[in-house]
Every structure is written in C-alpha cells, then in structure tokens.
Amino acid sequence: MSAQSHQDPRNEQPVLTDEALLLAHAHADHDKVDDGGAYKLLPLVLLFVFSGLIFFGGSYLNKFSGHFDPKIFDERAKPHEGGAEAVKLDPVVYGKKQFELVCITCHQATGLGVPGVYPPLAGSEWVNGSEDRIIRILLNGLKGPITVHGAIFGTVPMPVIGPGGMGWNDEKIAAVLTYIRQEWGNKAPAVTTEKVAEIRGKIGTRAEWTADELLKVP
C-alpha cells in the first residue's frame, strides 16, 4: 500500500518555494528582456513618416485644390500663370440671347414682325443697309412711319434701347445688330462695339429719329 501511494499522481506534489518560482520566471523571460524600456524604433519611424505624408498632402491640397470649387478645379487644364483673361463672347450668340429677351416680342422669332404694326427684320433694307442708320435707331429710338418692303409701318414707335432708355451698353447693341444682320437670310456685315461707341459719341442724347432724318445719314 505504501509503495502505490508514493507512485499515485493524485498525491499532492511538493510546493515550489518563492525563490524557485522567481528563478523559473527569470529563465523564461531571459530572451524578452529589453534594456531600452520596451520601446522599439520601427513604430516611431512609421509615425514620423506618416505624419510627414499627412502634412504634405494637406499643404498640397490647400495650394492646388482651388478650394474644391467646381468652376475652378479642372484636372485636365494646363497650368496658367498671370491674371484672368476676359472671356470673349460670340456676338451672334450673345446678340440672339438679347433679341430673345426683348426684341422678339415685337419683331417675332421669325423676324417677320407684325403686319402694319412692327416692321420685319428679315430681308429688310434697313437691317441690311447702312449700319450708321440702324445703330442710331437702337440708340435713340424711331417714331413716325417707316417703309419696309414697300409697306408702311409706324403705329407703335421704336423704343430707345440705348443708355437713355433700356440702358443697353455698346456691346449689347452691337451684338444684337450683328445677330439680326446675319439671321433669317440676312447677309450684312457685323457691327462692332467700337462703331456703336463712335456714333453714340457723335450724336449724344437726342429725341427719336424719323425715317426722313435717317435717310439723310450715309
């Protein structure tokens, strides 16, 4: 009985002393001892690298993103230096827009006007004739009868489109005249802003023109 009791694993094993436990742990942690305070160099290097990348990315976006404005930022645009250039509008396109805002009410989209009331612009000898005359009509207006294609119009006077009336500037007047002189089969030369400014400077402010007065203008 005594021999079996010494070999029975269920018997309580001897308890290790504190010194034995400390020695066992010291041997187990021998390869993990870090005299540098448990700090490793790689994480610090990665921290500085990624911090630098974040700083660079923020600086780059701040300089080149255009504040993320869709009207400014275009990844396909070429680099440009210097002041912004003024956009030159196509006078025919710009003139059509102005015509559709104001002139279309009387002269109609077809340019045929209203019989006996508003004269036609399509094929009109006034539209295709002297630019000096038609510029004066828009600048100062027209009253009284006027003959177009052999028919008499003038029930309603032509209002002042220039500065003394609707306040159109020289560019708008030149554009709408260029448009009507090239629309509906008309083939008259374009009217420039400089020409409108020249005539406005000559005549200044005055009453509406009559057809007879305009016929004396070359």
Measured between alpha carbons, how far is residue 193 from residues 40, 59, 97, 128 in Å?
75, 46, 17, 18
Coil, strand, or helix at residue 152?
Answer: strand
Q: Which domains does the chain have, with CATH numbers?
A: 91-215 (1.10.760.10)
The CA distance from 182 to 96, in Å, is 10
Q: Which position has the higher pLDDT, 22 or 47?
A: 47
Neighbours of 186 (CB within 10 A): 16
99 in Cβ contact with 172 (< 8 Å): no
The CA distance from 26 to 28, in Å, is 5
Phi, psi of 158 (to 5 degrees): -80, 120
Q: Is the pTM of this model over 0.75?
A: no
Neighbours of 114 (CB within 10 A): 14
Average per-residue pLDDT for the chain: 83
**Residue 28 C-alpha from the chain's centroid:** 72
pLDDT at 99 over 90: yes
Question: Quick one: pLDDT at residue 69?
Answer: 65
Q: Which position has the higher pLDDT, 214 or 84?
A: 214
Question: Quick one: pLDDT at residue 66?
Answer: 62
101 in Cβ contact with 163 (< 8 Å): no
The CA distance from 192 to 177, in Å, is 9
Q: Show the CA angle centred on residue 116, arms to residues 144 and 145, nearest 5°.
A: 15
The CA distance from 110 to 116, in Å, is 16
Question: Quick one: pLDDT at residue 32?
Answer: 55
152 in Cβ contact with 127 (< 8 Å): no
Question: Quick one: pLDDT at residue 58?
Answer: 79
**Nearest C-alpha neighbor of 194 from the set 178, 183, 205, 179:** 178
Q: Ramachandran region of residue 158, left (φ > 0), alpha (ψ -120 to 50) or beta?
A: beta
Coil, strand, or helix at residue 25?
Answer: helix
Question: Quick one: pLDDT at residue 71?
Answer: 58
Of 6-20, 144-158, 188-202, minimum mean pLDDT range: 6-20
pLDDT category of residue 43 using cuts at 50, 70 and 90:
confident
* pLDDT tens digits along 120-178: 999 999 999 999 999 999 999 999 999 999 999 988 899 999 888 899 999 999 999 99
Question: Quick one: pLDDT at residue 37?
Answer: 56
pLDDT at 6 over 60: no
